[in-house]
């Protein structure tokens, strides 16, 4: 096999990996938007890759590891006759994200099911393994052809709620010839990151102190939603999801996840701006949740409300109705987003409504150095770092690391 990192050896996000078998079968792993220096996704643009997005088909399949925009966000540019494999839940989440943010979603995707092997051209076999990450049902991909085995890690970690499954997963994968691994956190000093369980304990202490808790976090970070729900339940507060989050948690068909359909203490906040949406949109994404949007969810003035930066008007109405008295906002995302102008404005404006305490409560969605080190158990002969701005640092952690540049061909 041959491996070529089309993009991603010197950047976080927007990585594109090409793998070619001896018979000429070509696949792509991940096809997402670039993240600029402040980690805010840029405007989508066709990368104009011959045989993939323009010209005549030269690739046989595209595989997406998870639903984050920097991994899936450009799939609508892929030529129509190239099959795109996306894990079903990741596809569902990205579709909702696209609908709520007015983006076009490529619907002509096939489903890649957990543990199902995908055979491409009777040549390359791709097997997904669900791993812990801040995007639900993220997958590592094992690629087998020509008697060789390559593991593409995608984004992963071991300190989330599924973290205990990481070592058993590595044992199941067993030895490989090559690893292509993310190294998002190689530039950080931390050897380990706070676990979701510990974050939940800290959240509980905060929830005891305040009556109203506003949560600013990614709606695709299901682990975090569960952590905040448990803290909310322990402090006898109503848990209110914004309409976008409610659509996600309810669509996953998993009753263990807090959602308004299965949980009597989970409600939905529907901002008035959704009254202006098209009837088609409202019928599918808003009207089914009206019965879970109840006044009593915030009238006792003890509630947890998930918010977006676009919800200032909704927060102001709560303030005008005297429903904000002893409040804080928990900021549970990467700190770099605070440099975005919309975020800066939101964090400043909410202070007008009595929310003066802004508390950072977050842990990384990516692998720590200690977790990456566990990949040594796979005894890879070659290891390639991607999704990083400090690829050289991987040499201090893993064996047999080779440093490559974009578009450089590595033979296996």
Same domain, residue pair 54 and 184: yes
Contact 362, 333 (CB under 8 A): yes
Radius of gyration of the chain (CA): 22
Rounded average pLDDT per 10-residue block, the chain, 412 residues: 97 96 98 67 75 97 94 92 91 88 64 83 97 94 98 96 94 97 89 88 97 95 95 96 95 91 94 86 94 81 94 92 95 88 94 96 94 98 97 97 97 95
Scan for tokens 């799939």, then name that residue.
Answer: 75
Q: What is the pLDDT of residue 46?
A: 86
Same domain, residue pair 314 and 404: no
Distance CA 51, CA 77 (A): 11
Same domain, residue pair 329 and 294: yes
Same domain, residue pair 24 and 49: yes
**Domain that includes residue 402, residue range:** 2-189+365-411
- Among 340, 360, 380, residue at a domain's last position: 360
Same domain, residue pair 113 and 6: yes
Same domain, residue pair 180 and 239: no
Q: Residues near 77 by Cβ (< 8 Å), separated by ≥ 6?
A: 31, 46, 47, 53
Q: Which CATH number does the domain housing residue 266 bear?
A: 3.40.50.10710
Nearest to 207 by CA among 245, 233, 246: 233
Same domain, residue pair 300 and 185: no
Q: Residues near 191 by Cβ (< 8 Å), separated by ≥ 6?
A: 368, 369, 370
Q: Tokens in use for 100?
A: 């709520």
Nearest to 227 by CA among 208, 203, 251, 207: 203
Which residues are 86's β-sheet partners? 64, 111
Q: Which CATH number does the domain housing residue 400 bear?
A: 3.60.15.10
What total of structural domains would you count in the chain? 2
Same domain, residue pair 113 and 34: yes
Distance CA 280, CA 378 (A): 50
Same domain, residue pair 134 and 182: yes
Q: What is the pLDDT of residue 150?
A: 98
Quote the distance between the C-alpha of residue 119 and its chain's center. 26
Same domain, residue pair 31 and 160: yes
Same domain, residue pair 350 and 290: yes
Q: What is the pLDDT of residue 172?
A: 97
User: Which whole-number Å values give the CA distances from 389 to 43, 186, 187, 192, 396, in the listed order?
Assistant: 21, 8, 7, 19, 15
Q: What is the pLDDT of residue 35?
A: 76
Contact 307, 216 (CB under 8 A): yes
Same domain, residue pair 334 and 219: yes
């Amino acid at each position: 096999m041959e491996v070529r990192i089309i993009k991603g050896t010197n950047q976080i996000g927007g990585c594109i990996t090409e793998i070619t078998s001896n018979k000429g079968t070509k696949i792509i792993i991940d096809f997402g938007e670039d993240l600029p220096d402040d980690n805010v996704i840029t405007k989508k643009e066709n990368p104009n890759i011959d045989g993939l997005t323009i010209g005549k088909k030269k690739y046989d399949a595209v595989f997406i590891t998870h639903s984050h925009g920097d991994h899936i966000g450009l799939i609508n540019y892929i030529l129509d006759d190239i099959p795109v494999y996306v894990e079903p839940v990741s596809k569902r989440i990205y579709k909702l994200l696209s609908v709520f943010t007015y983006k076009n979603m490529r619907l002509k995707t096939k489903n890649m099911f957990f543990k199902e092997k995908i055979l491409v051209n009777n040549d390359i076999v791709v097997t997904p393994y669900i791993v812990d990450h801040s995007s639900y049902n993220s997958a590592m991909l094992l690629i087998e052809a020509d008697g060789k085995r390559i593991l593409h890690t995608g984004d992963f970690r071991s300190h989330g709620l599924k973290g205990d499954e990481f070592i058993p997963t590595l044992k199941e994968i067993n030895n490989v010839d090559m690893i292509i691994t993310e190294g998002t956190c190689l530039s950080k000093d931390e050897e380990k990151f706070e676990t979701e369980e510990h974050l939940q304990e800290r959240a509980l202490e905060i929830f005891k102190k305040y009556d109203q808790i506003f949560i600013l976090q990614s709606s695709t970070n299901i682990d975090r939603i569960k952590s905040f729900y448990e803290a909310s339940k322990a402090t006898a507060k109503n848990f209110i999801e914004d309409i976008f989050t409610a659509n996600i948690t309810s669509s996953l068909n998993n009753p263990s996840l807090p959602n308004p359909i299965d949980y009597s203490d989970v409600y939905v906040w529907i901002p008035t701006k959704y009254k202006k949406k098209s009837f088609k949109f409202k019928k599918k994404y808003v009207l089914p949740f009206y019965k879970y949007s109840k006044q009593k969810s915030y009238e006792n003035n003890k509630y947890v409300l998930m918010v977006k930066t676009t919800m200032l008007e909704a927060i102001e109405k709560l303030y005008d109705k005297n429903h904000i008295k002893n409040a804080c906002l928990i900021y549970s995302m990467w700190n770099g987003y605070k440099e975005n102008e919309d975020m800066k404005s939101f964090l400043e404006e909410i202070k007008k409504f009595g929310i003066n305490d802004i508390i950072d409560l977050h842990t990384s969605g990516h692998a720590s150095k200690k977790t990456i080190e566990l990949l040594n158990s796979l005894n890879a002969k070659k290891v390639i770092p991607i999704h990083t701005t400090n690829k050289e640092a991987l040499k201090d952690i893993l064996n047999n690391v080779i440093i490559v540049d974009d578009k450089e061909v590595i033979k296996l």
